[in-house]
Amino acid sequence: MSLLRIIAVVSSVLAAAAVLLYFVQEKLIFYPQRISGETANHITSAFKNVEEITIHTKDGTRLHGWFLKNSSGKISKLIFYFGGNAEEISYMVYELQRYKDWSAVLVNYRGYGMSEGAPGEKSLCGDALEVYDYFLEKTDVDNPKIAVMGRSLGSGVAVYLARNRKSDGVILVSPYDSLASVGKGIFPFLPVGLILRHKFDSAVLAPEINLPLLVVTASEDKVVPPSHSKKLSEKWGGEVNAVEIKGEDHNSVSLRAEYWDSIGRFLDGL
């Protein structure tokens, strides 16, 4: 086979792969996890300080989640949490109980949990603004201290919210500089930056955010290698606190007490 023919074949294969990636990218980026109404009711009834919430967005989509009220009953500290790409966030109702002074907003992405619609960068980021505005307008929420927290995919949503709304600190777990950057590591021979419709380019927004940042990474993370988190940290406009959990990977990082303790210390310092 001649060199020109080899080049033509390789080019055709790469072009076909690029087209395929373009059309299936949502299935690679988003893995919606659903729950039943019975499960949602069980979660709500298991905690006296948890309220089940429904928010209707401007385009008519119904978002579902929970509002966790702190032990004092006074909503003066508030966490907005955004999960990973395969994360149904109801379990965080239990996990965030450990931060007694903090209330938390836990709303599932479109297509996740009991939320309607289909996920996408534009809709997830827009919904984050609407959820934020909804809670800041509640009569029992009066000028609270706000922490924005995002894990993996949700780090991009959290960065977008922190850039566009008032907050006092940001917590990012296994964050990326951009999805295109992560994608290039997986598909090095494809023009990922041109193909992706959902770019979540946090590195572009980071210099404009002058807030304290906690970055938690896992030393063995192969999904979002810590190098991507470091690139984002280097762009950040405020003070950066970095914690690496040794011996854990992308999914197991939160199994260590050190993970939750580092978040607690950061929240105490806001």
What would the pLDDT profile of 89-116 be if each residue is shown by its tens digit? 999 999 999 999 999 999 999 999 999 9
Helix axis angle for 179-186 and 226-235, nearest 10°, is: 150
The pLDDT value recorded for residue 14 is: 47
Question: Band of the pLDDT at 195, cuts 50, 70, 90?
Answer: confident
H-only helix segments in 56-140:
92-95, 121-136
Q: For 174-193, b where at least 16 C-beta lie within 10 A, e where not — what string?
A: bbbbbbbbbbeeeeeebebe
Domain boundaries, the chain: 3-268
**Spatial distance between the Cα atoms of 30 and 170, rounded to a whole number of angstroms:** 23
Q: Once rounded to an integer, what is the mean pLDDT over residues 113-126?
A: 97
Question: Band of the pLDDT at 185, cuts 50, 70, 90?
Answer: confident
Query: How high is the mean pLDDT of the chain?
Result: 90
- Give pTM, 2 decimals: 0.92
Question: Band of the pLDDT at 26, cuts 50, 70, 90?
Answer: confident
In CATH, the number for domain 3-268 is 3.40.50.1820
The pLDDT value recorded for residue 10 is: 44
**And the tokens for 244?**
């690496």
Residue 163 has pLDDT above 90, yes or no: yes
Residue 177's region, left for phi above 0, alpha for psi from -120 to 50, else beta, is alpha
